[in-house]
Amino acid sequence: MNKRYIGAIILTPLALFLLLGGTYLRVLIAILSLLGMYEFYKVIKSKEINPISVVGYIMCIIYYIVLSNNMDFKYTILIFTFAVFIMFCIPTINTKYNFIDISVTMLGFIYVAVFFSFIVLVNIKNKTVMNTNVDIGKYFVWIIFISSWMCDTAAYYSGKYLGKQGKHKLCPKVSPNKTVEGSIGGMLGSTVSCMIFGQLINTYGTNMELLHISLIHYAFIGILSGIFSQFGDLAASSIKRHVNVKDYGKLIPGHGGILDRFDSILFSSVIVYYYVSFILNI
């Protein structure tokens, strides 16, 4: 059996955690964040950069413990400020570390742990309409994955059959196999899949009729996620190219590591959260 299919089977239990939501999903995403941070710090070390990994992991654990949609902004800033405060003290005690190591440590935390956390934040989104609580998050959390993975799938087949001559490279210096045709196909795949899912939510979602979310919003989410999930993929590729590694890890057969499989989802989760928060005002 193709290793990519084996990897897909391994990822199947993720659907159960999306259905369960709540604490179960929070714990899973926290674990994925820690594994992703480990992969990030590991490949960065090949460039003789020494991220202060332990501080990054501690920040991640504390962050997920206090994470909520109602989290006080000052406490969020406190986590960041105190961590940077401590890390700037470390190079004065151990000259093995310097300000670049501190910067990369913070980047790993923000890029992996914080971006991953938007999955949790979307999942717990809800709104009271006409004295009825609508758990919109349990539906919209699926869009993060649907938009990203359908974009990836559509981009693969579009690039394979429409861009097979490879004349129109998308970003050859970062990912030489990606084509403009594949990119457009990926965006369309994301948009169409989000609209189909949106129609299903509007038709069968419990109490969703109270919010009256137009399909045009699902289309916009699909477009934006289709664009930025590809940027997420390319961003991860640019890091790998800089440190000269093929994959972040070998945890998922046929897919590589956590960051290889979830690189686009990290970006789409940010898009979905802020679209729901600022455009839909939920």
Domain borders along the chain are: 3-279
| pTM recorded for the entire structure | 0.92
Question: Where in 28-168 does DSSP place strands (E)?
Answer: 127-129, 132-134
pLDDT of residue 72: 67
Report d(CA 5, CA 13) in Å as an integer.
14
Check residue 169 and give left, alpha or beta (phi > 0: left; psi -120 to 50: alpha): beta
List, for the chain, all residue ranges whose pLDDT scores fall below the cut of 50: 1
Helix ranges restricted to H, the chain: 3-11, 13-20, 22-44, 53-66, 73-93, 99-108, 115-123, 137-161, 180-204, 215-243, 258-274
Give the pLDDT confidence score for residue 193 in this predicted structure: 97
Tell me, what's the pLDDT at 3?
Answer: 53
| Chain centre to alpha carbon of residue 44 | 19
